Amino acid sequence: MARSKALPLLFFLGLLSFSFSPAIATIKFNFFYLTLMWPGTYCNGIPFNKCCRPTAGTPAPDFFVQALKPYNITTGETVTECAIECCFSLKLVKKLIDDLNHYWSDVSCPSNNGHRLWEDVWCTYGTCSNLTESVYFQRALALRAQVNLLSIFKRNGIVPSSTKYYSLKGIQKALKGIPGSSTVVECNRQWLFFGDYYLYKIHICISSDAKSIISCPIKKSTINCGSEVKFLPFDPRELPVSTGAHNMPAANPIKMPAAAIDMDM
């Protein structure tokens, strides 16, 4: 992690360039992927099989923001960890706290207030975004609202169900309803290598200033999906509260993997 100890000289140089211009020092990307995640799949997939109710706020029964990820076309990878010393301040996103609790919720176990997740996302992706912390979170939330995936799906008859299968083609067709966009659909498999496919994430291409939805510069349309996909229900009211006493240790992979999952996206 960028937060690990660095040589004092590097730290000093980092401070220097930071104080001159955070912009010039950090731009290494061409566009963003806005990654939206369906919690119904996150909470039902295996091995990530259960979720817990956050200790603050109420998660929305809707797509969550996972991250706004800067992407470099030349390297074919997301750009991560651009700060030598990463500093996340909750104060800077205080005005957004309701939206963060609703749409950027950490439903992993044990129950937690989400602060660790936001810090992880900021340190992993935000520091590379050429945006300030408050603007980074604000833009990502605004873009999520603008896209409004759930209503687009609903309009096309695609609603959460534990039994129904939807064609991937139908899902992609519905996504064409996002003006100016092209998207990448990502699925998760019930048993890792076999079983049903679950709709998991939608990656939407965003301009490098994080202001508008764009047509993706990279031709890639699906990740790990079959031709028939389930869209599992998610009811935040059913999430159990857990103190963590009987749960797995904090380092458990069940923690919302802001960085661990598909670094190439």
Ligand X SMILES: *[C@@H]1O[C@H](CO)[C@@H](O)[C@H](O)[C@H]1NC(C)=O
Q: Pairing relation of β-strands 77-78 and 166-167?
A: unpaired
Sign, CA torsion 57/178/216/192: positive
**Greatest alpha-carbon span in the chain:** 58
Name the DSSP class of 94: G
Please, which residue, 23 or 251, has the CB nearer to ligand X? 23
Interface region with ligand X, contact rule CB under 6 A, candidates 26-34, 52-60, 118-126, 228-236: 26-34
* Interior/surface letters 139-155, b for 16+ CB within 10 angstroms, e for the rest: bbbebbeebebbebbee
Contacts (CB under 6 A) with ligand X, residues 172-211: 208-209
CB 227 within 8 A of CB 197: no
Binds ligand X (CB under 6 A): choice among 4, 19, 74, 215: 74
Smallest separation, CB 61 to ligand X (Å): 35
Give the distance, in angstroms, between the CA of residue 192 and the centroid of all CA atoms in the same chain. Answer: 20
Contact between 134 and ligand X per CB under 6 A: no
Smallest separation, CB 209 to ligand X (Å): 5
Contact between 245 and ligand X per CB under 6 A: no
Binds ligand X (CB under 6 A): choice among 41, 80, 130, 182: 130
Contact between 75 and ligand X per CB under 6 A: yes
Contact between 19 and ligand X per CB under 6 A: no
